[in-house]
């Protein structure tokens, strides 16, 4: 399922990201007015007559932007959104709902990460956190004391911070943690809660916000602000919650261990102050120990899930459910006595509650092997210990055993199956490496940060003159991928064609691996590829070291049928390919400087197009490997088509579709008229 879902069924308009509701058209005003309109209006009240600068982090749907632009004093709004898919929705299907906010000349849109933008931001009168729910380590990192300190520096002396927080009803400790973090960063937070029908239907409870500033926001300043009547300040009892600030990931524990708050009036303002002595963090091991000691009826999967603060809720539930479905297969494959004996030999390294549980299990095995029903009802507690150990190990050494979307396949006398885990801290970990292995079985190739791409696969003749199919091991960038033989592929954007980049040439191949053309790529592409190749070795070496440390630390995976050496083999394959790539990219040859006519535009690396001519078809300049220019017309050939002709046609289609280059419309119509059958086209040419 796509991480973006726009629900338009039965007249509804609601946006979901990763399965979590972001807004519903029926009540989104109740959300966006306190989040965006109120802080902008308050900033205008504090600085009368001043042109205001506003920063929005997130909010790619444009709804917070719409509310901010309603304030006449706002002169410019910078919006930073990292998801291009959400921005596309904001500019397209949601444009009517956001009143065309992205077309407003005051809007400045940046496609990027708030973590990169915020540290250098300065001089803003209002800053709006329109970010997703902090359900993983990356999300929680934007709610730390350090991040809020960066937000304070981004604001002017009288500036206002507004942020979408969590539910003070469902997770009051998490909400108080955010308030304490704001206070610890030198901001005076004012809590605000609103009842959104759509959120309550999803089970989120009443929703919380914060307004904050360097100096406290006084009650008289709030008079007349555009806050929805359905909202209110928080109960005084809420301010008595003694919760420390979020220094690293403490917020996540409170998110997953919230005790719902009784919700009744009267309501009054609450102030948050950091504790003089922060409350000690409850670790995952301590939380799991409490889970084991809890009464039998309270040891549920949900309470076990609460012990895993770095997990994404929906993926963790899915993985636990699948693990449970395949528990019988695990037990059939597992030598339970050997497992219990091997684990108890390391009892000094385990919490006492775990050791007690394992000994009880080992004693039961002495009486005879339990039947499957008893195993599934009783021994799952022991297997849960193993699950937690594996998860903690993965947190210490991310993505080396259970990486993103990994599927561990096994078979035995009892049948076959697979267990899928996805417990990592998502793409925004502080570690520089996120796992290279396991790409091809999943139909994706990953970069060193965990971003997935469609792999480049094609047949070609490699430097050893052997016909073969090359496979991608690692994405170096959205366009460049490392191939298993050490080459670097370049995305052509043309179906049926692929390209291999070398320091002094770019070779294009057809679907059968036959050569189409060889070009001199631009120096910028060559330098980028060199930098990307050379930057990978320290990362892959660190990954191999981490994985070996994991193997040295525990061999628990072998006890449940997981072949841990497969991951190291994959890492070694990537390392071997990188060594070969480095040999050719270490020293770049001196490239000739092509004399491309002024004003011509690049449509592919090494191919430029002439500005559209009113009468004749524009020409193409193909830059050859010696730096000379070979000109050819964009008009279709009179005879049969070569593979170069087919490739040129695909580039022209791409140029027209992307840039709406009207100078190519007649040219493409002529291609269709002359070569429709050979190109597999039907009908007449028109705008796609």
Rounded Cα distance between 151 and 160, Å, is 10
Structure tokens at 160: 């206002």
357 by Cβ neighbours in 10 Å (0-12 / 13-18 / 19+) ranks as middle
**191 by DSSP, 3-state: which?**
strand
Q: Is the peptide bond before 266 cis (omega within 30 degrees of 0)?
A: yes
Taking the CA atoms of the chain, what radius of gyration do you get in angstroms? 30
DSSP 8-state secondary structure symbol assigned to residue 186: T
DSSP string covering 504-544 = TEEEEE-TTS-EEEEE---HHHHHHHHHHHHHHHHHHHHHH
Token pair of 136 as six digits: 């993983």
Spatial neighbors of 473 by CB under 8 A, at least 6 apart, are 436, 439, 445, 481, 482, 483, 484, 573, 574, 577
Category of 107 on φ-ψ map: left (φ > 0), alpha (ψ -120 to 50) or beta: beta
Contacts of the segment 363-369: beta carbons below 8 A, 24+ positions apart:
365/336, 365/337, 365/340, 369/336
Q: Distance between CA atoms of 41 and 38, rounded to whole angstroms?
A: 5
The helix, strand and coil proportions of the chain, stated in percent and rounded to the nearest 5, come to 40, 20, 40
Q: What is the SS3 assignment for 49-70?
A: CCCEEEEEEECCCCHHHHHHHC
In the chain, what is the straight-line distance between the N-terminal and C-terminal CA atoms, in Å? Answer: 27
- Please state the length of the chain: 688
DSSP code, position 194: E
Q: Report d(CA 166, CA 207) in Å as an integer.
A: 6
Active site residue 130: yes
| Sign of the alpha-carbon dihedral angle for 604, 606, 612, 613 | negative
**By CB neighbour count within 10 A (0-12 exposed, 13-18 middle, 19+ buried), where does 219 fall?**
exposed
3-class DSSP state for residue 79? Answer: strand
Return the closest-CA partner of residue 649 out of 665, 662, 636.
Answer: 636
Residue 286 contacts residue 353 (beta carbons within 8 Å): no
DSSP class of residue 433 equals -
Question: How far apart are the C-alpha atoms of 323 and 300, rounded to whole Å?
Answer: 15
Among 130, 399, 510, 546, the one annotated catalytic: 130
The catalytic residues are 130
């Amino acid at each position: 399922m796509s991480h973006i879902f726009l629900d338009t069924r039965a007249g509804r308009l609601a946006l979901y990201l990763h399965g979590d509701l972001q807004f519903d058209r029926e009540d989104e005003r109740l959300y966006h007015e306190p989040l965006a309109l109120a802080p902008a209006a308050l900033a205008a009240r504090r600085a009368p007559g001043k042109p205001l600068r506003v920063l929005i982090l997130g909010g790619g749907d444009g709804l917070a932007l719409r509310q901010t632009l309603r304030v006449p004093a706002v002169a410019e709004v910078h919006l930073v959104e990292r998801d291009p898919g959400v921005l596309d929705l904001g500019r397209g299907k949601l444009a009517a709902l956001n009143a065309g906010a992205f077309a407003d000349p005051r809007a400045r849109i940046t496609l990027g990460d708030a973590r990169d933008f915020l540290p250098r931001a300065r001089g803003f009168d209002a800053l709006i956190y329109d970010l997703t729910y902090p359900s993983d380590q990356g999300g929680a990192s934007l709610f730390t004391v350090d991040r809020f300190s960066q937000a304070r520096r981004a604001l002017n002396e009288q500036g206002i911070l507004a942020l979408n927080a969590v539910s003070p009803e469902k997770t009051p400790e998490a909400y108080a943690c955010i308030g304490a973090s704001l206070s610890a960063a030198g901001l005076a937070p004012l809590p605000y809660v609103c009842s959104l029908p759509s959120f309550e239907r999803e089970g989120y409870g009443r929703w919380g916000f914060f307004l904050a500033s360097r100096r406290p926001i006084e009650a008289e300043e709030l008079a007349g602000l555009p806050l929805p009547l359905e909202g209110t300040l928080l109960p005084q009892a809420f301010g008595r919650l003694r919760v420390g600030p979020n220094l690293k990931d403490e917020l996540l524990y409170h998110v997953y261990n919230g005790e719902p708050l009784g919700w009744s009036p009267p309501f009054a303002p609450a102030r948050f102050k950091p504790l003089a002595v922060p409350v000690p963090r409850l670790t995952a091991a301590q939380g799991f120990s409490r889970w084991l000691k809890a009464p039998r009826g309270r040891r549920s999967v949900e309470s076990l899930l609460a012990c895993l603060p770095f997990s994404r809720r929906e993926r963790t539930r899915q993985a636990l459910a699948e693990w449970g479905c395949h528990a019988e297969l695990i037990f059939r494959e597992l030598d339970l006595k050997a497992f219990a004996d091997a684990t108890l030999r390391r009892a000094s390294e385990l919490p006492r509650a775990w050791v007690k549980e394992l000994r009880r299990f080992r004693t039961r095995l002495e009486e005879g092997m339990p039947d499957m029903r008893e195993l599934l009802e009783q021994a799952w507690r022991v297997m849960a210990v193993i699950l937690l150990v594996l998860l903690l190990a993965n947190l210490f050494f991310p993505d080396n055993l259970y990486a993103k979307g990994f599927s561990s396949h096994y078979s035995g006398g009892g049948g076959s199956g697979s267990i899928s885990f996805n417990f990592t801290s998502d793409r925004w970990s502080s570690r520089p490496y996120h796992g290279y292995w396991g790409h091809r079985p999943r139909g994706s190739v990953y970069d060193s940060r965990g971003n997935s791409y469609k792999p480049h696969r094609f047949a070609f003749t490699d430097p050893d003159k052997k016909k073969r199919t090359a496979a991608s091991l690692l994405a170096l960038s959205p366009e460049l991928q490392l191939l298993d033989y050490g080459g670097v592929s370049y995305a052509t954007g043309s179906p049926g064609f692929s390209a291999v980049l070398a320091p002094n040439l770019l070779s294009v191949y057809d679907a059968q691996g036959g050569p189409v053309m060889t070009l001199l790529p631009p120096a910028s592409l060559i330098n980028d590829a060199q930098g990307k190749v050379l930057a990978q070795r320290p990362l892959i070496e660190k990954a191999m070291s981490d994985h070996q440390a994991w193997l040295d630390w525990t061999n628990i995976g072998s006890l449940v049928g997981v072949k841990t050496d497969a991951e190291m083999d994959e890492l070694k394959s990537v390392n071997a390919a990188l060594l070969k790539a480095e040999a050719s990219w270490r020293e770049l040859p001196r490239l000739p400087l092509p004399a491309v006519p002024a004003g011509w535009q690049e449509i592919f690396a090494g191919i430029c197009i002439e500005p559209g001519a009113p009468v004749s078809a524009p020409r193409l300049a193909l830059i050859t490997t010696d730096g000379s220019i070979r000109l050819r017309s964009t008009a279709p050939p009179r005879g049969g088509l070569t593979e170069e002709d087919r490739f040129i046609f695909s580039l022209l289609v791409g140029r027209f579709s992307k840039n709406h280059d009207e100078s190519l419309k007649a040219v493409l119509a002529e291609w269709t008229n002359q070569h429709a059958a050979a190109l597999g086209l039907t009908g007449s040419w028109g705008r796609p």
